[in-house]
Amino acid sequence: MKAVQFRAHGRGPELVTLPDPVPGPGQVLLKVTAAGICHSDLSLMAAEPGTLSFAPPVTLGHEAAGVVEELGPGAAGVAVGDAVAVYGPWGCGVCRACAAGRENYCPHAAALGIRPPGLGSPGALAEYLIVDRPRHLAPLDGLDPVQAVPLTDAGLTPYHAVAESRHRLPPGSTAVVIGVGGLGHLAVQILRALTPARVIALDVTEERLSLARSSGAHEALLSDDAAPAALSGLTGGMGAAAVYDFVASPATTALAAGAVAADGHLAVLGIGRGSVPVAFGSLRPGVTVTVPYWGTRQDLLDVLALARAGRLSTRTETFSLDQAPEAYRRLSEGGIVGRAVVVP
Ligand code: NAD
Ligand code: ZN
Ligand code: ZN
């Protein structure tokens, strides 16, 4: 089969031909119908050798949708032909975190060698994908795979961050979204669907501010030197009850730290090189800072249900597997608006 791999540090993604995979005991083989391209893959491929928890070569793609092609021996719970989305942050399945569906925080997965597809295990930028356990599959139930596949990460990650902080966003409150890319444009829609907060979104181009507005942002601002004062003005000097930073560069974490209100919530979701100083006096009092990772199994079912209810619209641009390296190049140059989705 054709696949797109990260084969060596310092090299871009490469199209390769691999043997068709065969599902082992308990596994499920999917024929991939759509796979999303995430900014995290660029960080992965730019990482210094030895700094990742796995070594290349690995097939990329941690947002996956597909149709069940074959069940391995003993696998049950899904049937050949089922259209599904893949829950990516695989855990051990038996610990306390996993029992609560919070497999994204399983403390045992890494030591057990359990890695998400595309982030250590063979990923979805291929014609076929092996899913380790049927519990990692969620039925699409009528959702279009191209529209739905970004929901498995670009939707799931902000859904999780908002679900865990929505109690901070009562009527009259303000939420700030920094970075209106794949994750950020869905974050705006999720905030509008789950909370009564006023949503202010920031990005660096007018095209993305326009995406923010069409996603439901009440205000859209350029993320520049004037942004701190603009945010202060819009919140009467109080700051925002919740700030979600989908960039986390030094500039945006500084902006985020200055913008979060007393007793507020700051979620650092981007994996740029910025950080937030947490010390008495460095933030307004009572601020909670979190570094959410992906989402829970329940969050995935919820975000898919929200889409089925017509509350989420994913902006996508589609590519073939052969065009995937080009999609990554465009993403690295800021040339993708919304999410790039590969249709094998
Ligand atoms: P993306 O490239 O689609 O979007 C990033 C957006 O940020 C773009 O619209 C870009 O114009 C904007 N941006 C860049 N610099 C900015 C600045 N100074 N101020 C405001 N906006 C700015 O990326 P994505 O796939 O949406 O991923 C966003 C981030 O989230 C990445 O760092 C990615 O690695 C990370 N991520 C984290 C998790 C997690 O579990 N925490 C999951 C997925 C992705
Ligand atoms: Zn991702
Ligand atoms: Zn576990």
Whether 209 is in the pocket of ligand 1, judged by its Cβ within 6 Å, is no
Distances (CA, A) of 91 to 28, 85, 103, 188, 229: 16, 17, 5, 28, 43
Q: What is the DSSP letter of 337?
A: S
Let me know whether 138 and 7 are in one domain: yes
Predicted pLDDT at 154: 99
Identify the H or E element spanning 207. helix 206-214
* Among 250, 273, 290, residue at a domain's last position: 290
Distances (CA, A) of 138 to 7, 80, 103, 174, 262: 30, 14, 14, 33, 38
Give the ligand whose atoms come closest to the C-alpha of residue 341: 1
Let me know whether 269 and 335 are in one domain: no
**CATH code of the domain covering residue 267:** 3.40.50.720
- The answer to whether residues 97 and 103 touch, using CB atoms and an 8 Å cutoff, is yes
Instruction: Kindly tell me the burial class for residue 57, based on how many C-beta atoms sit within 10 Å of its own C-beta (0-12, 13-18, 19 or more).
Output: middle
- The answer to whether residues 311 and 162 touch, using CB atoms and an 8 Å cutoff, is no
Other CB atoms within 10 Å distance of the CB of residue 128: 22
Q: Where in the sequence is the domain holding 170, given as residue range(s)?
A: 156-290
d(CA 319, CA 338): 13
State CA 154 to chain mean position distance: 3
Whether 292 is in the pocket of ligand 1, judged by its Cβ within 6 Å, is yes
pTM of the model: 0.98
Predicted pLDDT at 10: 86
Mutational pocket test of ligand 1: of 177, 183, 315, the residue with most ligand atoms within 8 Å of the beta carbon: 183
Helix axes 182-194, 156-163, angle to 10 degrees: 40
Sequence letter at residue 107: P
Let me know whether 6 and 144 are in one domain: yes
Sequence letter at residue 93: G
Neighbour order of strands in the sheet with 219-222: 219-222, 198-203, 174-178, 240-245, 260-268, 288-290
- The answer to whether residues 313 and 304 touch, using CB atoms and an 8 Å cutoff, is no
Let me know whether 19 and 142 are in one domain: yes
Let me know whether 302 and 285 are in one domain: no
Tens-binned pLDDT, residue by residue, of the chain (344 aa): 999 999 999 899 999 999 999 999 999 999 999 999 999 999 999 999 999 989 999 999 999 999 999 999 999 999 999 999 999 999 999 999 999 999 999 999 999 999 999 999 999 999 999 999 999 999 999 999 999 999 999 999 999 999 999 999 999 999 999 999 999 999 999 999 999 999 999 999 999 999 999 999 999 999 999 999 999 999 999 999 999 999 999 999 999 999 999 999 999 999 999 999 999 999 999 999 999 999 999 999 999 999 999 999 999 999 999 999 999 999 999 999 999 999 99
Q: Whose CA is nearest to atom 9 of ligand 1?
A: 181
How many structural domains does the chain have? Answer: 2
Distance 96 CA to ligand 1 centre (A): 31
Whether 165 is in the pocket of ligand 1, judged by its Cβ within 6 Å, is no
Predicted pLDDT at 180: 98
**CATH code of the domain covering residue 123:** 3.90.180.10
Mutational pocket test of ligand 1: of 204, 243, 296, the residue with most ligand atoms within 8 Å of the beta carbon: 204
Whether 316 is in the pocket of ligand 1, judged by its Cβ within 6 Å, is no
Q: Whose CA is nearest to atom 33 of ligand 1?
A: 40
Predicted pLDDT at 276: 98
Whether 134 is in the pocket of ligand 1, judged by its Cβ within 6 Å, is no
d(CA 60, CA 57): 9
Report which ligand 1 atom has the smallest distance to the Cα of 178: 20
